[in-house]
Every structure is written in structure tokens, then in C-alpha cells.
Structure 1
């Protein structure tokens, strides 16, 4: 059988040389090269076939050189299916503060980037007239209160008339209400933080006129962040509150695991998407308006057969891997057609191979069906 191989090789080589020599020296050299390569591939294929036949007829023969490969055993594992979309980081508390009073700004007490507490005064509108009126009324209130206390004592002793007592009481209560009203107006001249957070923008300056409703400052609380995104209506039944989410922040080169906290009920007429929100854990470098890629897990296969996606090759329109087969004497690589059900994190969930089988993971390039291998 071995002599048959050599005779076959010699015959092919002789034919090849005859063809090459018969060509015109000025002929198409590229065509000759292509022809020789085709013949070389054909020779290689026929040699491999003959070597396999020899090995089967005589297992002790040393004709075939096995290819060194690496392999891994196929196991089952949990595999997540997800839908991927784009999202944006937002602050739970991103508040634009506006003025409640009218007047000239006399003081700005904070700077951009400064942390502030809830209720802290950020800026002051001119309140000098109000303060004077309040002080004047407080002086009047002292007098009216003294008169009321005396009338009350007299009335309790049955001295004086009830009208005098009631008049003194009314005067006192009226002034107290007026002072309370002025104090409320005075509070409206102060621009205060409605939540704790960081001053992101200051929109007023000392000396500027401001009116009710005009924006004065923006406060952002970066300790409570969320991610907002839109998901195709095709997944409306799969995405639910509590679904696991993998959030990838390109700027931070970080993946964050979180959960869906809100699923919108309304489908956008133009984009045919619905909104979702994801509550994010605190990270120092996480900022509002950062972009993110989110993967929402909508199905989990607990016992999936997975293989590295890079070992799956395409041949004649089919996805294939090579599995290791051994009869105790010879070990060969067998082509196995697989179907990819899903891909995630470098792994493919497939059908076509079984747990416990070994798939070739190193040296799979260039393997042919039935080729002898060595692990």
C-alpha cells in the first residue's frame, strides 16, 4: 500500500512537470501557479485518504502523523439571554431651583461643585424693607401685648369691660398674623436647597434683578442615580420589574450589575419603544448624562450546553465544531454540525454536542473530518 502512495505521487508530479514544461515561456505564469496549487490541494486530500485507509488496514503502521490539538470537555452551565440597548445615567434628584420672591440679588453663598444640605440658603434677595417692617411691627407687638396682658388681668378681676379685653386681644392677634405674613415674605427672599446634593450650576449673580419663577441654581444628588433607556416593543412581555441588568459604562470601563426598577406601560408611537429605569448603586466616578450599554436578562437556561464562540466555524453554510473521538487505538477529529441558540461573553449556547464530549479548542483551524489528532 505504501508503494501505491509513492507511485501515485510520482505520477502526479510527472504530469504536473509535463504540463508546466509544455507551457509557453511567455505564458500566463499566474495561471500556472493557480493550477499547481489546485493540484497540490488535490494531492494532499488523496494522500490523507490513502493514509487513513492504511491506518485502518494496519493500525501499527506509522504512515499518518497526528496533528497536535487542545481540547476541553463540554459541560452544562447557566446561560442568560438578554436584550441590549443604549441608556443614559440620570440623577434621581436633578432639580432646578427658582426664585420665589422679587428683587435684587444681594448675596450668593455657594459655589459650583459645593455640597449643600437640605434647607441651606444658597442666595439672598434684597429684603431690607421687609426686615425694617418686621422690626417695627415687633415693637408695636410688644406694646400691644403689654396692653393685652393688663386688660386680661383686669378682666379676670372683674375690672373693666369685656369689650376692652376683646379689643386688646384682637389687636395683639392681628399684629401677630401680620408679622407671620411678613416673615413668610422674608423667607421667599431666600433661595434654599430643597434637597441635599451638589451645586451643579449657579444662574444668578449679585446685583441682578430676579423675579418669581426665574431659575437660580441646579442641584444634583449623585448618590442616587438611575439609568433610563428605551426597549423595543418586541420585548414588552419579556422585560419586567426585577429583571437582572448588566450595565456597561464605556467611560469607566466598568460593568455594573443592577435590577430593573420601572417598566413603562406606554409605547412611543414614533420609535415603537417603551421606557425602563434601572436603579444604580453608588460609584464615585459615576456622573449624570454618562452613556451606557445595558443588557437586560429576560430568560435564563439553567443547564445550557456552551462552547467558546471562537471555535465555531462555518463550512458550506453550516456551523461546525470538531469533537474528539477515540477507539482506544486512534484518535480523530469528527466534524459536528451545531446550532447556535445564543451568544454571550464569549460563549455560544448550542445544540449538536452533548455534555461529556470533548471539543477541539486549540489547533481546530485546518482540521478535516476524520483527521488523526494527538491531545
Structure 2
């Protein structure tokens, strides 16, 4: 056999052996890197020992403050902006002039129609005298009177147009946005300013269907601001949503009167404090500890070092907690976190 062929065969065998070795080595590395779950190894969890207690009626529902009234102001009449008399942060009163548009051409037209009215009024007076003396036909007087009425309508139209070149505040509030500048062209529908009224605020919370029963129409509730917890506010219920939102909760809105110095701002967070006016004795567990379905809620209990599934009955949900009426006893150890890889009968160890 040719020595070159022998060398090629030997090289090929060596290459195959090298590839096999490399693949085997890579497999061992991959196996070592892959997490090997050990079903007998205890799973680390957090747990609490359950006990009966009195549940007071104070509940807090987080919400957001919004302005009671807010509007973008635009002109009803087209024209060049001559003056903007306010700036962002300016407090304004209802009826206060905010923007003045150019009305010089309209004023000239009004002067022209006033001259016309003056002449037609003289014609009417003269024709009235002549008509009474049968010196002219009555139709001439009628035409003069119709001409006067037409001129008066034109005067009223121009006066209304001129009044609309002055943009006024629709309600008391604070200018929160300046959306145009002097010298620009204003037209109906183009916002010039934004005015916000925070003397009163809307406060909106979202509650679960189980908590809806705690709220009554037109009733007042205590509202607090996260930024100013010492400020006591009162909110009167305005609206309860008739349709659940994306989070399967229902919006409830309150009307809140702001402090005299308008300390509470739009966009701040707060809480609606609900007093159930009753104390209940029972076992209250965190909602995060509950698994299973809504029709059959379950929890994990720790018994003899193992996690055991337990069916429970929930009598009431209060905020993010649940009041359990059956399935749990005082002294039971409840798993509160560490549910990853947890299963019925798993060995567990409680974190210290």
C-alpha cells in the first residue's frame, strides 16, 4: 500500500477521534452547566404561623388626584394674536381677558355700518313725515325701515365678532400650558392656552368587585395625600364604574376640596380611608399566598417539613388580604413566598 494512502487513513482516523473526544467533552461541560433539579432537596420558603386576631375596619385604597376642571382654550374668531396677557402659573378668574386678537379691520367695518345706520335713520324720519303728509308712497318708508333693520343686524353681527376677538377665561383656575405666541395666527380649534382648576379635585381609586359593597353613593370618605399625610381631606363619592377595567377592577371617583393654598396638585398619589365600623375575629392571610382557582382557592401549609396543599374557603377579601372562614387553624404554618418549583409533598426549609 502506498505510504501516502496510509498517512491519509491515519490522519482521518485521528481527526475522527479528535472530533469524538471534543463532542464528548462538550456534552460533559453542558451537562455540568445545566441545572439538575433534585426533587428531594428542600425548597427554601418564607412562612408565617397563623393566629386569630381582630380585624379593624380601616382600609386604604391607593388612587390619583386629577383636576376637577381642565380645558384647552382656543379662539372662536380667526385673527392674528396681538397680545397674550398671561403666562404659565398665572392664576386667573372667570371672565378675565387672556388673549387679544387683532380686530382693527372689524372695527373699521363697524364704523362703516354705523355711518350707514345714521343715514338710514334720517331717511326713515324724513319719509315718516312725508308719508304722514301723503307726499310719498308708503312703500318708500317701508323700504327705508327694512334697510335700517338690515344695517342693525350687520352691526350686531360685527359687534359679536369683535367680542370674540377677546379670549376670556371660562372658569377660575391656573394657566398650566402656553400653546401659542404673540404674532401667530389663531383659528377656531387651535389651542392657545390650557387652564386647570384644582380648587376642587377628582380622586380616583380602583377596587375589586368584592370591595364594591363597602362604598355607598353620595357618602363622604377620608382622603389623604402621600406627599402631605398630615393634611386631612374629605371626598364625596361622585361615581362608581359600571364596567371593569383591564385589571378587572372598578373605578370609584370622589370629589375633594383642595386646601386654601392649593397644596394638593394634579397627578399626586393618595389614599381613600375606608372604615368598616366593625371588628371581626378570624384568620387573615395575604392574597399572594393563595393559589388555585377563584372557585377553589388553596394554600400551602408546612407539615413535618413538607409543603402540603390545603383547600380553603374565603369569606371576604379586604384590600390585598383575605379572611378565611374554613380550612385553616390557629397555629398552622402558611407558606407566604418561595413558590417556584414548589409542589404538594415537597421537602421545604423555612428561611431564618
Q: TM-score, normalised by structure 2?
A: 0.59
Q: Name 1:288's counterpart in structure 2.
A: 266
Aligned runs of 1:231-250 on 2, under 5 Å? 231-250=207-226
Q: Name 2:190's counterpart in structure 1.
A: 214
Residues 247 and 257, structure 1, Cα contact 8 Å, conserved in 2: yes
Partner of 2:202: helix, strand, or coil? strand
For 2:246 and 2:111, the matched residues in 1 are separated by 60
Q: Name 2:152's counterpart in structure 1.
A: 176
Pick closer, same or farther for the CA change 1:342–1:276 going to 2, 3 Å. Answer: closer
Pick closer, same or farther for the CA change 1:296–1:154 going to 2, 3 Å. Answer: farther
Residues 202 and 216, structure 1, Cα contact 8 Å, conserved in 2: yes
For 1:126 and 1:222, the matched residues in 2 are separated by 32
Pick closer, same or farther for the CA change 1:211–1:114 going to 2, 3 Å. Answer: same
Residues 211 and 318, structure 2, Cα contact 8 Å, conserved in 1: no
Q: Name 2:232's counterpart in structure 1.
A: 256
Partner of 1:236: helix, strand, or coil? helix
Q: Name 2:277's counterpart in structure 1.
A: 300
Shift of 1:244: 4.2
For 2:183 and 2:71, the matched residues in 1 are separated by 24
Structure number with greater CO (CA < 8 Å, separation at least 6) is 2
For structure 1, which segment, 171-180 or 242-251, has the greater mean C-alpha deviation from structure 2 after superposition?
242-251
Shift of 1:157: 5.1
Shift of 1:183: 1.9
Q: Name 1:59's counterpart in structure 2.
A: none
Pick closer, same or farther for the CA change 1:243–1:162 going to 2, 3 Å. Answer: same
Q: Name 2:348's counterpart in structure 1.
A: none
Cα offsets for 1:249-303 (capped at 9, x unmatched): 1212325242442232422341212222212133121222221122233x312x8
What are structure 2's unaligned runs of at least 5 residues? 1-53, 282-300, 303-315, 320-352
For 1:206 and 1:185, the matched residues in 2 are separated by 20
Pick closer, same or farther for the CA change 1:262–1:149 going to 2, 3 Å. Answer: same
Pick closer, same or farther for the CA change 1:293–1:150 going to 2, 3 Å. Answer: same
For 1:304 and 1:244, the matched residues in 2 are separated by 23
Pick closer, same or farther for the CA change 1:290–1:156 going to 2, 3 Å. Answer: farther
Select the residue among 161, 185, 199 that pairs with 1:223: 199
Shift of 1:304: 7.5
Residues 220 and 237, structure 2, Cα contact 8 Å, conserved in 1: no
RMSD between aligned alpha carbons? Answer: 3.1
Aligned runs of 1:291-330 on 2, under 5 Å? 291-297=269-275, 299-301=276-278
For 2:129 and 2:206, the matched residues in 1 are separated by 73
Residues 239 and 254, structure 2, Cα contact 8 Å, conserved in 1: no
Shift of 1:214: 0.7
